[in-house]
């Protein structure tokens, strides 16, 4: 289903094209702004659109849009890193504050995977570095090369 690249991963643009076969994903008009398949990281940008809000003229994002954006970003970095489909086992979103009338950026990374599960983290922020939501999920990587990924020092890998 997903073409493997020699370097063991797949480009964010290739994954984006794959994901966009879904009408649901097409509802979210996001772009890839940074990626590192070897590190298992990707950053996506979602320009503000009133279609994403709860009540249009107030401009507050619907929580479901943020949940979907987290799911897409987390899944994308796992597929990039493993070069295979990575079904979601579970997904969690923490809403820190409500974004309003602002473009959102999703910084996603995959933690080093075990034999069968990869954990991915997503930070939803704006260009000024205000954090609006945190995402975390477990993804099935049973058929992946994820166990080949290096472990990074906690300073880089950690939550600060």
**2 binds its own copies per the rule CB under 8 A:** no
The neighbour count for residue 123, using CB atoms within 10 Å, is 20
**Measured over all CA atoms, what is the biggest interatomic distance in the chain, rounded to whole angstroms?**
48
Residue 22 burial (10 A CB sphere; 0-12, 13-18, 19+): exposed
**145 binds its own copies per the rule CB under 8 A:** no
Q: Show Cβ contacts of residue 122 under 8 Å, excluding neighbours closer than 6 positions.
A: 70, 73, 74, 106, 107, 108, 134, 135, 136, 137
**7 binds its own copies per the rule CB under 8 A:** no
With CB under 8 A, what is the number of residues at the site for its own copies?
A: 67
**Residues in 116-135 that interact with its own copies by CB under 8 A:** 116-117, 119, 121-123, 125, 129-131, 134
Of residues 80 and 123, the one with the C-beta less far from its own copies: 123
**144 binds its own copies per the rule CB under 8 A:** no
Residue pointed to by tokens 């075990």: 114
Residue pointed to by tokens 């999703």: 106
Please give the residue ranges that form the binding site for its own copies (CB under 8 A).
Answer: 21-25, 27, 41, 50-56, 62-65, 67-68, 71-72, 75, 87-98, 105, 107, 109, 111-112, 114-117, 119, 121-123, 125, 129-131, 134, 136, 138, 140, 142, 151-160
């Amino acid at each position: 289903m997903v073409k493997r690249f020699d370097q063991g991963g797949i480009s964010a643009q290739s994954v984006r094209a794959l994901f966009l076969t879904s009408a649901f994903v097409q509802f979210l008009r996001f772009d890839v702004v940074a990626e590192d398949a070897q590190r298992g990281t990707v950053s996506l940008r979602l320009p503000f659109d009133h279609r994403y809000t709860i009540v249009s003229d107030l401009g507050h994002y619907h929580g479901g849009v943020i949940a979907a954006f987290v799911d897409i970003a987390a899944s994308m970095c796992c597929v990039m890193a493993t070069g295979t489909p990575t079904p979601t086992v579970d997904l969690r979103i923490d809403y820190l504050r409500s974004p309003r009338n602002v473009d959102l950026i999703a910084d996603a990374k995959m933690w080093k995977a075990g034999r069968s599960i990869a954990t991915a983290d997503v930070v939803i922020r704006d260009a000024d570095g205000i954090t609006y939501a945190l995402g975390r999920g477990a993804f099935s990587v049973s058929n992946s090369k994820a166990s080949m990924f290096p472990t990074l020092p906690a300073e880089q890998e950690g939550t600060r």
